[in-house]
Structure 1
Amino acid sequence: MPQLRNALSKPSLLAFALVAALGATDAHAAAKKKKAPKAPAVSAECTDFYSSANAAWLTANPLPAGVGSVTALGQLRERSEQQQRALLDAAMQSPQGNVQKLLGDFWASGLDEAAVEADGSRPIAPLLDRINGIKRAKDVPAAIAALHQVGIPVAFNFSPDVDLKALDRHIGYFSQGGMGLPDPAYYTRSDAETRELLGRYQNYVKQILTLTGTKPEKLDAEALAVIDLETRLARVSRPLQDLRSPLANYVPVATKDLAKQYKNLQLDAFLKAQGVTDDTVSMANPALFAELNTLIATIKPEQWKTYLRWQVGDAMAPYLAKSFRDADFEFRGRVLKGEAAPAPRWQHVLAAINTAAGPMLGREYAGRYLPSSSKDKAEAVARDVREALARGLEGNSWMSAAAKAEAKSKIDKLKIEVGTPRRDLDYSVQPMGRGSFGSNILIASTWRHREEMKRIGKGNADRRWDVLPQQPALAYDLAQNRLIVTAAVLQAPVFDVARGDSALFGSYGALVGHELSRGFDLRGRMVDAGGEIRDWWTPADVTAWNALGARVAAQYNGYPFPALTAAKVNGTLTLDENLADLAGVELAWDAYTHAQLAPNTGAKQTLFRSWSELWAQQLSPAEAAQRIATDAHAPGQWRSNGPLSNQPAFAESFSCKAGQPMRRGDAEQVRIWR
């Protein structure tokens, strides 16, 4: 759960210019001879479609100094933030209904910086009192459970996720956490850079401890006590790279055995406090919890109290008075993230509301900004693309008959959810008021934690999405075999009904195809039509897919990386997304031409332009250098041009000839679902 902390050059045109210049050197000969016909120039569309389709955008959106990137989809995200801001302003002034009243008060309390400053650390005083009331070792587990209930996970993490043996339900996952640094290795590595970071972290711990009640004479000792306890947790935590596989994190155990195995830690009482009555949880690292069980009994209560005070102060620092916020930003913002300055106050408050009450805001966002007509149209286009995928699955030449049969069954069961999750939440929550932003954070976070815990148990796996309706996104949920389309993504440049169906299919439809194809690729093959985790491909299917992938990787390896000199796209790093992009364009074209039996040339061209317009971007050299090493997506120019150069329909629509940059040779073209 979301918790409180947690452009191409044109060599052909240049060559033509040189030929023309050389031919003009002998005017007398030219007068005597009949001029040879000039070779036709390559159109801009057939040379670099991205630069042609996005010429106006690229001119209108230069990269400002000090900014890493400007993108068309980034502008969509910014617009959704402004829409949320306008919604909250209206809810603050004249709320319509109880949920808007809660949100309006929450927003008002966060914008009132004078009130936040006057409030000081009072919002966390009840939590600190609870911690300071610890007398004996057996009091510590109850305090840990109480902090989890308000969305402040301490000592470890506990959250719902899919049961990998029964994808129709969620179970609770006990996992490592409780450390203030993002990587356990920071506590144990001995290199100079890490030691320096640890020293800066210690200073930050001192700042928060001071603000939560530590006296000056005890400050050094208590900061060391915090780092000592966190280091003990780090030593029995798994390296971050070992946490990437869902299967490695799934070790189901019976909840009835927890009380005996972890008597000091009182995990049975912990589950009861969270409202969890399920018979199974996952615990992938029992050594961590065995160590915690020992530490409860062997570490003095005073050290636990210091650690818990620090954890509360650290988690709540962004939402309290300026002294807390400044300390938090200097370490977590500037040191860990490299941020130059804090976000504007309204963005900070909006992010806090999305963290603590995101589904609440999403409900109102969809009600305000998603017309029912747009929702209906989005569902209809998605269904058309789903049907195109069904045809592609049936007719492709690389998939075995057995895999095709399973794929057909899987796509028949695929669900499409647009706007908001189908199942609403319980919005009964303590009134917030406008007096205390920090207190409202805790109220909202407690509500969200309660609703998250309700996901655990049979029949609750589809209870909510892992993305908020107010965040622009399309996603394929592999476990639930469903397409998720958020309310916020249904606006330009993704979804613009004013431009007509061809544009809708080229942008939104292609993105739908991108996501739906993920259910039937190298990863999607691991969940079958019945929701069971098993590989339903034959070895020949895997070989055929890998062969397609090798060709796509080679294609993208040949593309220069924009904003960098003598650097190429990493076709292996970006392979999965490039394959999905290719699939998306294929499916969008098929879906559109089935829905519109005789589209004219203009409509066809609009479809491809609307795809390209999604990827308009400006990158600084520094941003490009970071992306080439870490980003699984190709640069915008190649997300546009790469798939299109494989489409015969694109070449036909723009009269691109064989050998021109935007038309790959017939033998070079890669096809997945066409």
Structure 2
Amino acid sequence: MALVVALLAGTGASDALAAKKKKAAAKPKAPPAATVCSDFYSVADAAWLTAHPAPATGATSAMGELVEKSVQQQRDLLDNAMRMPQGNVQKLLGDFWASGLDEAAVERDGANPVAPLLSRIDGIKRAKDIPPAIAALHQVGIPVAFNFGADIDLRDLNRHIGYLSQGGLGLVDPAFYTRTDADTRAVMTRYDAYVQKILLLSGTPQARLAADAKLVIDLETRIAQASKPLVSLRDYGANYAPQASKDLGKTYKRLQLAEFLKAQGINDDTVSIANPQLFAQLDAMAATLPPAQWQAYLRFHVGDAMAPYLSKAWRDAEFDFRGRVLRGQSTPPERWRQVLDAMNTAAGPMVGKEYAARYMPAATKQSAEKIAGEVRDALGRAVDRSPWMGASAKTEAKAKLAKLSIEIGTPHRDLDYTVQPMGRGSFGGNMLIASTWRHREEMKRIGRGNADRRWDVLPQQPTLAYDIAQNRLIVTAAMLQDPVFDANDPSPSQYGAFGALVGMELGHAVDNKGRLIDASGKIRDWWTPAENDAWNALGQRVVAQYGAFDEPAIKGMKVNGTQTRDANLGDLSGLELAWDAWRNANSAADAATQKSFFEGWASLWAQSESLQAATARAATTVHAPGQWRVNGPLMNLPAFGEAYACKAGSAMVSKDPVRIWP
């Protein structure tokens, strides 16, 4: 019996061992290959994804590549303008570019570009000398003590007024000057050292550095104590406080604000001052603080503003604090990128004018205008058949669309490019020339009938956006390139990419954002509570749908449907409108032709991210990951499933499709 038991036990052990080996030898089943009906993104963008495997750090995307392409195009444009300029503006830009790339000349130039500004500051003797010095620095694009700029008059959207607002600090957040935690104190210690470096470079004697730096930070602290928290500045309405310009001279006599406006070339009857307590404080400080303290403050701010454009000692000081400490950068960008960024800051519209002339063919602009117009018409039809808009809202929406303008490539209203000649010997000097020009042109925005004077983006920056205040669509020249608008691709692809982006933005004219401004440009809510409820109900369905999607690069995490709600609604709306626009003009197109439309949409959102980048995106951005920007809207669009013959129950066919414009 014992022998039988042993034999049986041995046989069982042998069988278990064999089963274990067999299981170990079996390979895990690979997930089924993606198909157009299970994961359209992975199929349509397969070539791009293969060429762009997930990086160890950071992220890349098809739209990010468009940005980099536009940067390289600007570089090529300026290289050509430097060698063989065509026209006056290119001559200006070519000289400007050459002066920045010639680092030996920048070194020889030293602090010469700021010498006249520092000399003006040295001339301050009495309290009444301080306000003119402040005004003069604003004129050359160096705002000190406060900020002043043109923006929409909320009572009349057809005009810009001047906004006098808080500023004048070396650190963006006023809270830095009042918080007492260890991290803030550490930053302030580094800031004090930076102030001393800039003062030294600007000519302050070594023996006075520590004392003058304290004067600078003391003056900034006084400004910060009277400033509003940054979060409060997000409320646009709360920071709109119009008053008569003629009263400034009496209210802020010592700060000489009436004279300040004249120095900026402003004779408008209205300005906005949202924080009168701050300007009362500045008015008092202009009279009570010693001129020597103002001199130290102004010297530092001139040096701080101009440091990136001067010799290496200046640039290194600026980067060590602002680059390493505040921006978390380890190394500065390549020299040509620094120069390009500087030129876009000071002379961006000049670069944009030449960029559009070189990189936007007339035929491309015409085709884009045609598609955009057809998508606008599709939105009009969508409003007519909308089940959630009432009669009054439909009337208002159609009136807005009738007045909506489309500006493609460059602003309709051009600028005055008359400017002092720029030589090749002084990059810092050219920065001041260009900044003075740009400030002059910005000030021209102030006044009635000037609200559409120019865009808030540059033609060389890939942008497609709806300007809610001016009821216009803005498409920059840089945007009209692959993958958004490939002139070599067939028409359906252009509608699926460019047309869908247009639809996404035009939808804002009549959605929960556009509802706040009516067809006449008045700020009022023209939706009823019922329409608001219907929109929120659509939103909640999208929240639930996207909240069930897996984050592609983060195991175990779902997409934040609430955080991405509005962008997801926009994606779906845009795709619906573009499809309607294309089908309206191509009703006889077969399924094979239709597929190009959906491939155009997919080409926009190809994306490859590291785990770190994906985690940061998921926590902060309002957009879903690329896979779901492609698949989410398509699974809600019946035409997609029909074109690819996807069966009910397929992943790309929603069981409960959401439609914004059914």
Q: TM-score by structure 1 length? A: 0.93
Question: Which residue number corresponds to residue 207 of structure 2?
Answer: 217
Please give the residue correspondences for 1:517-596 in structure 2 after superposition, counting only pairs within 5 Å.
Answer: 517-596=507-586
Once the two structures are superposed, residues 127-146 of structure 1 have per-residue CA deviations (whole angstroms, 9 ceiling, x without a partner) of 00001110001101000000
Question: Which residue number corresponds to residue 384 of structure 2?
Answer: 394
Once the two structures are superposed, residues 499-521 of structure 1 have per-residue CA deviations (whole angstroms, 9 ceiling, x without a partner) of 11100000000000011011111
Question: Which residue number corresponds to residue 10 of structure 1?
Answer: none
Please give the residue correspondences for 1:238-257 in structure 2 after superposition, counting only pairs within 5 Å.
Answer: 238-257=228-247
Code of the aligned partner of 1:600: D
CA distance in 1, matches of 2:370, 2:614: 37
Code of the aligned partner of 1:107: W
SS at structure 1 position matched to 2:475: strand
Are residue 152 (structure 1) and residue 152 (structure 2) matched?
A: no
CA distance in 2, matches of 1:365, 1:483: 20
SS at structure 2 position matched to 1:388: helix
Question: Which residue number corresponds to residue 514 of structure 1?
Answer: 504
Q: CA deviation at 1:72?
A: 0.5
Are residue 669 (structure 1) and residue 657 (structure 2) matched?
A: yes
Question: Which residue number corresponds to residue 29 of structure 1?
Answer: none
Which of the residues 476, 481, 504 maps onto 1:486?
476
SS at structure 2 position matched to 1:623: helix
Q: CA deviation at 1:64?
A: 4.3
Are residue 127 (structure 1) and residue 117 (structure 2) matched?
A: yes
CA distance in 2, matches of 1:557, 1:200: 44
Please give the residue correspondences for 1:88-487 in structure 2 after superposition, counting only pairs within 5 Å.
Answer: 88-487=78-477
SS at structure 2 position matched to 1:159: strand
Question: Which residue number corresponds to residue 50 of structure 2?
Answer: 59
CA distance in 2, matches of 1:602, 1:181: 57
Q: Is the 8 A contact 2:55 2:608 kept in 1?
A: no
Code of the aligned partner of 1:621: L
Stretch moving more, 560-569 or 180-189: 560-569
CA distance in 2, matches of 1:291, 1:557: 50
Q: Is the 8 A contact 1:362 1:469 kept in 2?
A: yes
Structure 1 segments unaligned to the other structure (5+ residues) = 1-20, 26-40
Stretch moving more, 434-443 or 203-212: 203-212
Question: Which residue number corresponds to residue 48 of structure 1?
Answer: 39
Q: CA deviation at 1:199?
A: 1.1
CA distance in 2, matches of 1:623, 1:329: 24
Q: TM-score by structure 2 length? A: 0.94
Q: CA deviation at 1:493?
A: 0.4
Are residue 72 (structure 1) and residue 34 (structure 2) matched?
A: no
SS at structure 2 position matched to 1:418: strand
State the 4+ residue runs in structure 1 displaced beyond 4 angstroms: none
Question: Which residue number corresponds to residue 4 of structure 2?
Answer: none
CA distance in 1, matches of 2:487, 2:269: 49
SS at structure 1 position matched to 2:333: coil
CA distance in 1, matches of 2:34, 2:179: 57
CA distance in 2, matches of 1:273, 1:220: 34
Q: CA deviation at 1:567?
A: 2.0
Q: Is the 8 A contact 2:34 2:43 kept in 1?
A: no
Code of the aligned partner of 1:82: Q
CA distance in 1, matches of 2:640, 2:517: 34
**Compared CA separation, residues 377 and 424, structure 1 to 2 (3 A):** same
CA distance in 2, matches of 1:150, 1:430: 13
Query: Is the radius of gyration larger for structure 1 or structure 2?
Result: 2
Code of the aligned partner of 1:619: E
SS at structure 2 position matched to 1:534: coil
Stretch moving more, 648-657 or 153-162: 648-657
Code of the aligned partner of 1:341: T
Q: CA deviation at 1:43?
A: 6.0
Q: CA deviation at 1:256?
A: 0.5
CA distance in 2, matches of 1:269, 1:448: 21
SS at structure 2 position matched to 1:498: coil
Q: CA deviation at 1:650?
A: 0.8
Q: Is the 8 A contact 1:188 1:231 kept in 2?
A: yes
Question: Which residue number corresponds to residue 18 of structure 2?
Answer: none
CA distance in 2, matches of 1:228, 1:464: 39
CA distance in 2, matches of 1:568, 1:196: 38
CA distance in 1, matches of 2:344, 2:318: 19
CA distance in 1, matches of 2:563, 2:162: 32
Q: CA deviation at 1:568?
A: 2.1
CA distance in 2, matches of 1:502, 1:634: 24
Once the two structures are superposed, residues 449-474 of structure 1 have per-residue CA deviations (whole angstroms, 9 ceiling, x without a partner) of 00000000011110000110011110
Aligned pair count reads 634
SS at structure 1 position matched to 2:36: helix
CA distance in 2, matches of 1:553, 1:338: 34
CA distance in 2, matches of 1:522, 1:168: 22
CA distance in 2, matches of 1:269, 1:482: 36
SS at structure 1 position matched to 2:37: helix
CA distance in 2, matches of 1:223, 1:622: 39
CA distance in 1, matches of 2:411, 2:252: 37
SS at structure 1 position matched to 2:580: helix
SS at structure 2 position matched to 1:172: strand
Q: CA deviation at 1:62?
A: 2.5
Calculate percent identity across the aligned residue pairs: 63
Once the two structures are superposed, residues 180-223 of structure 1 have per-residue CA deviations (whole angstroms, 9 ceiling, x without a partner) of 11111111111111111111111111111111111111111111
Q: CA deviation at 1:271?
A: 0.3
CA distance in 1, matches of 2:83, 2:122: 40
SS at structure 1 position matched to 2:369: helix
Question: Which residue number corresponds to residue 6 of structure 1?
Answer: none
SS at structure 1 position matched to 2:125: coil
CA distance in 1, matches of 2:330, 2:174: 26
Once the two structures are superposed, residues 548-568 of structure 1 have per-residue CA deviations (whole angstroms, 9 ceiling, x without a partner) of 111111212222223223222
Code of the aligned partner of 2:309: Y
Once the two structures are superposed, residues 443-500 of structure 1 have per-residue CA deviations (whole angstroms, 9 ceiling, x without a partner) of 0000000000000001111000011001111010000000001001001000012111
SS at structure 2 position matched to 1:45: coil
Code of the aligned partner of 2:240: Y
Q: CA deviation at 1:42?
A: 8.6
Code of the aligned partner of 1:57: W
Q: Is the 8 A contact 1:462 1:480 kept in 2?
A: yes
CA distance in 2, matches of 1:634, 1:197: 35
SS at structure 2 position matched to 1:484: strand
Structure 2 segments unaligned to the other structure (5+ residues) = 1-21, 27-31
Q: Is the 8 A contact 1:42 1:660 kept in 2?
A: no
Question: Which residue number corresponds to residue 606 of structure 2?
Answer: 616
